[in-house]
Structure 1
């Protein structure tokens, strides 16, 4: 009995502001509405409230599992009646556990039961329930020869991924996931069930493509789909470089990305991956990505090597290079996702203990030489000495004719339509379990400071909402910039009581 009491203490303390009567009434109301749920003390609560990032530990007031828009509406109305903040949870992969409210005492609307997928072959559109995971979507659409732009992890949920951006290796020729959305079915803060499109609730539709969790709970999307590429292969080139060589390599890749017309074609998706080098002062440097063009160029040469030759010719011979996949789009998705089978049915959820930051580098203000040198110097010294496991991904977003940057900036709430690279900086424990390594915050903060301090004072960089970071003081500017004021206005209209609230939600 003493052991059980000790286990319950954190949960009980977390609800000091929630009276027993509120919890009891909410439980009774949900039972009367026949809506599945778990509360603190229930047998399934601990598992249901486990975050993806084990650096956080939040205790929701309750977690509900509705299976229809009407049930979502009922949950929202009940939560509002009991003065609770409400958040949706899809795949549950928020870096800062926003899907658990980002604090104790939030009412969670888990949307995983919204897992329908309907494909309309005549219009080449698909309706996808907000509870679906990327891996399942890839498999089902591929059966009809169709696809969407999105990330590579099979277990990421479509809702949050799309609502905040949705970058993947096909994005340079298809756009972000949110750019493929043509309609959204959602439940507002007053419980009203709505459809939002360019012509129906256009302000809401604009806001939902970039900041959706602040405005409504999505139950389904309608997407336009794209024909799967006839050929696809995953490639990788790996070097062990001194920090000076790594700095030059990054600048060379930047020059290649910006060059016209001989830069990367849109059917090349790629990123630079940086990790701890083998010796102090060195950096692991990898160019990896996917090629969705023909296997050979017009002269019969290997198309990937021909396309990348302007960059590869400036580096030493790679210590390792590879091609993966059988040439089909679905196989490339399996390779990128790290799984032979993309189905997420019955799969165990993975967890980690980590911190991540991001920085979006604009095309018209690319990295200066000094910024690259000092950044790589820091990776080769402090990065080598760090107690944290870490990596840096430098994703190629821009370049000639990138679909991401061709979308008019006013079309959606997603602001950064002038991005060359999106850099994700990620530090974690080596065994994925707590505690978070000492010095992890300092390492990543220092790396970002190194970049910003070696760029002009007016450098208009941003940050990516899918790599959300609650430690940013200026997150409103970095994530939303000039769009934030319009988002505030729409928030007042559709959620005047600020029901949908979490640490990085649009504020009133």
Structure 2
């Protein structure tokens, strides 16, 4: 799917190496791409014939438990971050796949199981060290270069290379109450309508997702269920353990499940639970919508497309948002989608190149069929490489004009352009 060949790859050990790489690329006129954790669906980590700055060796995570802060290098994965913070019973909202790179996630906004309680990843970013297009190392924070700080919190890698992040941490775990409940697809309408009604008044400590897909070979599901179409309820509760069963119990009452596995478990283990569903080397094509409400029409459409999944690896996670994400002002960061109550990310995923056209068309058809129920916005980290025309209005909307102004100040030549690009104003 992504087959690009850089002429040079540099793997920095720290900010000084990144500065050297940027200055060298500028002097030689080299196209430059940035690799953090290597999880980007659009393949923006890699360029043809230029220089790839591979940050994967920079994975240090330093936690100050007294201040509840963490300093994280740009090559760290979510797993690296979670393991270090959880030693002290601390965490911050990040994504739901432990192999994801923290840098790319954060620069696009970042959300996961803790976001309804504590906001987006960028809402918990305190400062960042940024290597700029003209070869300087600067700090971005509310007090230093606040325009740059605003822009990198949702504006992606358009404004420089972040070498280090400082995050606010919160008490979480080390045990959370989480699990998965697998319902037959035949009960899908009742399940999704129950999910809709339940989440409308659910506490912020609970995040949940509906997951239509084929049942994977999970040990708590009967063998005859493996491979059948299901709608799973997947959830994580980070609140008072004494209330966990009462709060989450209704998620198991939307129908008659095939099976379930729920209960207390280490937060770090829960953060890895979806990793096997994202096998390395699989072919991927995503399409995504933000939604404010799950209409009956949307639910019917989603069930219909689940009935004709083109691959056993395809899935459509429908994640509940809201909560504290909406508790921050709409213009507080460059992430402009705080109105969304749900996000659906259509994961076209398969293994054989011969299925490319079939799976991609299925994903596009599902996206088109559900477009009437969507806000028109899209989370930048879910955008594929063929959606450049949607960047101004769908990805950034009201933030677009200001982002272009900040880009003109910090990268007027558009040196950092292997991304969902924001061209400088002018």
Asked if these proteins are the same fold (TM beyond 0.5), I'd say yes
- Within 5 Å, give how 1:36-51 maps onto structure 2: none
RMSD: 2.4
How many angstroms does 1:336 deviate by? 5.5
- For residues 402-423 of structure 1, what are the alpha-carbon distances to aligned partners after superposition, in whole Å with 9 as ceiling and x for unaligned? 1111111111101111111111
CA distance in 1 between counterparts of 2:171 and 2:294 reads 35
- Of the three residues 169, 189, 192, the one matched with 1:247 is 189
Choose 1 or 2 for highest CA Rg.
1
**Residue among 345, 350, 353 paired with 2:283:** 353
2:89 to 142, 145, 148: 145
Tell me whether 1:91 sits opposite 2:37 in the alignment: yes
For the residue of structure 1 that corresponds to 2:316, the secondary structure is: strand
Map of 1:109 onto structure 2: 53
- Matched with 2:2 is 56
- 1:436-447 aligned at under 5 Å gives the runs 436-447=355-366
Q: How does 1:220-259 map to 2 (within 5 A)?
A: 220-229=164-173, 231-242=175-186, 245-258=187-200
Give the aligned partner of residue 319 of structure 1. Answer: 258
Relative to 1, partners in 2 of residues 1:220 and 1:446: Cα closer, same or farther, differing over 3 Å?
A: same
Distance in 2 (alpha carbons) for counterparts of 1:137 and 1:442: 36
Query: What is the deviation of 1:360?
Result: 1.0
Correspondence 1:56-455 to 2 at 5 A: 56-101=2-47, 104-229=48-173, 231-242=175-186, 245-258=187-200, 263-276=201-214, 283-297=229-243, 303-304=244-245, 306-310=246-250, 312-313=252-253, 315-323=254-262, 325=264, 327-335=265-273, 350-362=280-292, 366-380=293-307, 382-383=308-309, 386=310, 389-398=313-322, 402-429=323-350, 432=351, 434-453=353-372, 455=373
1: CA distance, partners of 2:403 / 2:81: 30
Cross-structure match for 1:483: 399
TM-score, normalised on structure 2?
A: 0.90
How many residue pairs get aligned? The number is 412
1:446–1:69: structure 2 CA closer, same or farther, 3 Å change rule? same
Taking a change above 3 Å as real, the CA distance of residues 58 and 388 of structure 1, as seen in their structure-2 partners, is farther
After TM superposition, give the deviation of residue 184 of structure 1 in Å.
0.4
Contact 2:176–2:237 (8 Å) recurs in 1: yes
Maintained 8 Å contact 2:63/2:84:
no
How far did residue 247 of structure 1 move? 2.9
Q: Give the 3-state SS of the residue equivalent to 2:356 in structure 1.
A: coil
Q: Is the 8 A contact 1:207 1:413 kept in 2?
A: yes
Q: Secondary structure at the match of 2:421?
A: coil
Cα deviations across residues 174-231 of structure 1 (Å, max 9, x unaligned)?
A: 2121111100001000001100001111110011011231110010001111122364
Q: Distance in 1 between matches of 2:15 and 2:79?
A: 24
Seen in structure 2, the aligned counterparts of structure 1 residues 197 and 79 have a Cα distance that, compared at 3 Å, is same
Please show how residues 27-42 of structure 1 align to structure 2 within 5 Å. Answer: none
Q: CA deviation at 1:433?
A: 5.4
Q: Residue 438 of structure 1 aligns to a residue in which SS?
A: helix
Return closer, same or farther for 1:337/1:266 CA change in 2, 3 Å cut-off: farther
Are the counterparts in 2 of residues 388 and 440 from structure 1 also a CA contact under 8 Å? no
CA shift at 1:447, angstroms?
A: 0.7
SS at match of 1:210: coil
Q: Taking structure 1 as reference, are residues 337 and 59 closer, same or farther at Cα in structure 2, changes over 3 Å only?
A: closer
Q: Distance in 2 between matches of 1:93 and 1:435?
A: 23
Structure 1 portions without partners, runs of 5+: 1-54, 298-302, 340-348
User: Which of the numbers 488, 498, 501 marks the counterpart of 2:414?
Assistant: 498
Task: Give the conservation status (yes or no) of the 8 Å contact 2:320–2:343.
Answer: yes
* Large movers: runs of 4+ above 6 Å: none
Gaps of 5+ in 2: 216-223
Distance, in Å, in 2 between the alignment partners of 1:85 and 1:207 is: 22
